[in-house]
Structures are given as structure tokens and as C-alpha cells.
């Protein structure tokens, strides 16, 4: 076969390969868009569930700022659940409830005093 005839036969094949490659790319792109959309939807649902779950917020050197509130939750339990990361004893702990704040010395916890928390409380730990 001469060279011109080979090119004549190969040209449609090359066009089909190029088009098929485009279809795969578009299909893959649509799948990625769908996956990103679903991931966003799932993240939003998780956030809504967290917003509806009663919790206590712990600010400071902790691994988990949001602690689920349960009946009888104490300050010591909330700090332990938040996973306090600093090796030093905190210098000051402040609890804010409904806009009112109260500070306490950490020694109170070391003495075993149970300080009850309420849903929505914010605990700030200052190392």
C-alpha cells in the first residue's frame, strides 16, 4: 500500500481515537464533579448534625474544640474529652455561659471539685 492510502485509512481511526479520548475525559470530569458535589453535601449534613447536637466548646491547646454535651458533664470531663495538649497546668480557666463569664483557678479541678457544664458553655483554657 502506498503512503497516501495508508494515511487515508488511518485518518478516520485517529479521529475516532481522539473523540473517544475526549469522551473519557468528559465522563471522568463529570464523575469528579459529581463526587465533589456529594462530598460537599455530606460535609453540610455533618455540620448540620453537629449544630443540632448539644455541645460545649473548649478553646485553648486542645485537639477537639467541640465536646458533645451529656447530662452530668463536668469541666474536668470536658477538658479530658477535648484532649488538653499542653504539658503545663493551665494558669486560668474561664467558663462563659449565656454571655456571663466566670474564671477559676485550675487547682479547683486538682482538688476534685466537680463543676457542672451546660449545653452551649464555652470553656477557655489559658496555659
Kindly state whether residues 79 and 100 are assigned to the same domain.
Answer: yes
Kindly state whether residues 71 and 119 are assigned to the same domain.
Answer: yes
Domain that holds residue 14: 1-52
Kindly state whether residues 63 and 107 are assigned to the same domain.
Answer: yes
DSSP state of 48: H
How far apart are the C-alpha atoms of 68 and 46, rounded to whole Å?
Answer: 14
What share of the chain in percent tops pLDDT 90? 50
How far apart are the C-alpha atoms of 79 and 102, rounded to whole Å?
Answer: 16
Mean confidence (pLDDT) of the chain? 82
> Tens digits of per-residue pLDDT, 70-80?
999 999 999 99
pLDDT at 98: 94
Kindly state whether residues 61 and 118 are assigned to the same domain.
Answer: yes
Max intra-chain CA distance, the chain:
97
Mean pLDDT of 113-125: 96
pLDDT at 19: 55
Kindly state whether residues 62 and 35 are assigned to the same domain.
Answer: no
How far apart are the C-alpha atoms of 83 and 26, rounded to whole Å?
Answer: 46
Kindly state whether residues 60 and 108 are assigned to the same domain.
Answer: yes
Kindly state whether residues 69 and 119 are assigned to the same domain.
Answer: yes
Q: In total, how many domains does the chain have?
A: 2
Kindly state whether residues 38 and 63 are assigned to the same domain.
Answer: no
> Tens digits of per-residue pLDDT, 19-62?
555 556 888 888 888 788 777 777 776 666 656 789 999 999 99
> Tens digits of per-residue pLDDT, 16-27?
555 555 556 888
Amino acid at each position: 500500500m502506498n503512503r497516501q492510502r495508508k494515511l487515508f485509512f488511518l485518518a478516520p481511526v485517529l479521529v475516532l481515537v481522539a473523540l473517544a479520548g475526549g469522551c473519557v475525559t468528559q465522563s471522568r470530569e463529570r464523575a469528579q464533579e459529581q463526587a465533589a458535589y456529594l462530598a460537599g453535601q455530606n460535609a453540610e449534613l455533618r455540620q448540620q448534625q453537629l449544630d443540632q447536637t448539644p455541645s460545649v466548646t473548649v478553646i485553648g491547646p486542645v485537639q477537639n474544640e467541640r465536646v458533645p454535651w451529656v447530662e452530668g458533664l463536668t469541666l474536668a470531663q470536658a477538658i479530658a474529652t477535648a484532649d488538653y495538649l499542653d504539658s503545663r497546668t493551665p494558669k486560668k480557666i474561664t467558663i462563659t455561659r449565656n454571655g456571663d463569664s466566670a474564671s477559676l483557678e485550675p487547682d479547683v479541678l486538682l482538688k476534685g471539685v466537680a463543676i457542672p457544664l451546660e449545653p452551649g458553655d464555652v470553656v477557655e483554657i489559658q496555659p
